[in-house]
Chain A
Amino acid sequence: MSVRVNASVMRESFTLDVHLEFVAGQVTAVMGPNGAGKSTLLRAIAGLQPVDTGEISINGTVVDDGHRVLASPADRQVGLVFQDYALFGHLTVLENVAFGPRSRGVAKATARSAALDLLDRLGIADLAARRPSAISGGQAQRVALARALATDPTVLLLDEPMAALDAEARVSVREQLREVLQGFAGVCVMVSHEPQDAASLASRVVVIEDGRVTQDASPQALAASPATSYVEALMRATA
């Protein structure tokens, strides 16, 4: 299982132009300044942002080649956790998590019991009947994760999974996220701007600056020999 991105995407303020391969069982953190193209990369993999040139393939199948092929997000087996979670406010927590399987034709009762199992695994089964407006940020993050995992994706994409959390919630969510990611067999790409998150969750860090990859290394190597002044400043800020 792998995701291969050899593509460029033109946006108003920058052009994302990257050549990357992400493999199963490895968590990759994508770091970089705001507006460098990190989220655009995730959206391109998920199928929410068509590429302009080049191609993206998932498990050897081309899902976007810039002109003729453009697989819909539904056909890519990706799970995406949005930065602000994007939980459906008119559905309960359980219905949110069951939405994916239901959309893919799983029977209602089956989808619901699977969703409940997943919530239980994340320790939030007691929230099943609540609306997203009635749970905390840390809980919402877990629900968003459960919802993304419910469709059993090959590729799990996390867009700044902890950016919206306060410091306290961040510690416990990070711990739980690490457990979940360790048990995840597929490809995982996580956008982050927190070196701590990257160091504790990822085994590989890709730095994107102004649409291009400026460093691609392990968290340790990144700290030991930063390739750019941005990485250097980032590492100094954490130390």
Chain B
Amino acid sequence: MNTTRKRHTRTARPWFLLVPGAVALAFLVVPLIALLSQAPWGSFLDILSNPAALDALRLSLETSLIATLVALVFGVPLAWLLAREVLPGTRFWRALVLVPLLLPPVVAGVTLLAAFGRRGLVGQWLYDGLGVQLPFTTVGVIVAEAFVAMPFLIITLEGGFRGVNRQYEEAASTLGGSAWTIFRRITLPMVWPAVVAGTVLCWARALGEFGATITFAGNFPGVTQTMPLAVYTALESDRGVAIALSIVLLAVSITVLVALRGRYLRSGNSS
């Protein structure tokens, strides 16, 4: 009996997993602790009530929320189309949708310039025809954030839609439900955890967007300088300000994590 118990304990905590695992944990946690320990707590509120910081915070919240809304309006339908394999060549389109997810954000910014720049494929038409300029504007920030963040929403929701047992939709259709009624009252509630998880992931990604934004929209305080850009800019002049702004973004991340409590994030692919 004693030997089996000993052997059980040994396999439950093998050193070759325990040691590198602990290193990984420390590696992830130490920077967070360091950030908090170096924060200028005394002047924290002064830094944050600085008009430049408030502008960046306001701009970040506005653009990331609008980008998320845009992603929802267009991404939910696309996720559905991909899940139901309505489009010919679904596998190909699904792979393409994932590209912005894996693309280095700076490259994403360059592709956006190629498409929506003043001499871009779509951009020249927008500029010459409608007088609309996207690069280096607040709308450009939203475009950059939506481009980079929407794939998070789409892949999360696509998994959700795939997991829906079609029989419920069939039942609803025999009961007289129109396509819209079925989608709104049956399908969408059934994938609700995926909607929540996808929306939050998308919003968090949009809020943290840096590379595509600075490339496509530039770094103009009050117009395109979002929080991550403000952190980067502050780092060159005042480390304390950079750390204070970083802590605000960290607080947002942790709040999201706690609010979801792992529940929605986990069920996103299985429900």
Residues of A bordering B, CB below 8 Å: 46-48, 72-74, 76, 78-80, 82, 84, 86, 88-90, 99-100, 103-104, 147-148, 150-151
Contact = CB atoms under 8 A, between A and B. Distances in A.
B253 interface: no
Contact of A103 (B165, B167, B172): B172
Nearest to A101: B176
A86 B168 contact: yes
Contacts of B178: 74, 103
Contacts of B167: 82, 84, 86
18 contacts: A48-B170, A48-B173, A73-B174, A74-B173, A74-B174, A74-B178, A78-B174, A79-B174, A79-B175, A80-B170, A86-B165, A86-B167, A86-B171, A88-B168, A88-B172, A99-B175, A103-B185, A150-B175
Among A46, A103, A104, the most chain B Cβ lie within 10 Å of the Cβ of: A103
Contact of B185 (A46, A76, A99, A104): A99
Contacts of A90: 189-190, 192
Among B173, B174, B176, B186, the most chain A Cβ lie within 10 Å of the Cβ of: B174
A102 to B, nearest CB: 8
Contacts of A76: 174
A76 B192 CA distance: 30
Contacts of B189: 90
B221 interface: no
B177 interface: yes
B176 A100 contact: yes
Among B173, B176, B178, the most chain A Cβ lie within 10 Å of the Cβ of: B176
Given A74-B178, A86-B167, A99 B173 contact: no
Contacts of A80: 170-171, 174
B170 A86 contact: yes
A76 B173 CA distance: 10
B176 A104 contact: yes
Main secondary structure of the interface of A (DSSP, over half): loop
A56 to B, nearest CB: 15
B175 A48 contact: no
A194 B171 CA distance: 24
Contacts of A103: 172, 175-178, 181, 185
A20 B164 CA distance: 34
B174 A46 contact: yes
B186 to A, nearest CB: 6
Interface string B171-212: 111111110010001100110100000000000000000000
Contacts of A151: 175-176
A190 to B, nearest CB: 15
Given A100-B175, A103-B177, A148-B175, 16 more contacts: A47-B174, A72-B173, A73-B173, A80-B171, A82-B170, A84-B167, A86-B167, A86-B171, A88-B186, A99-B185, A100-B176, A103-B176, A103-B178, A147-B175, A151-B175, A151-B176
Contacts of A86: 165, 167-168, 170-171
B271 to A, nearest CB: 10
A147 B167 CA distance: 15
A82 B189 CA distance: 21
B131 to A, nearest CB: 46
A74 B170 contact: no
A55 to B, nearest CB: 20
Nearest to B175: A100
Nearest 3 CB-CB pairs, A to B? A100-B175, A86-B171, A103-B177
A67 B11 CA distance: 64
Nearest to B182: A103
A148 B186 CA distance: 16
A43 to B, nearest CB: 8
Nearest to B181: A103
Among B165, B175, B178, B189, the most chain A Cβ lie within 10 Å of the Cβ of: B175
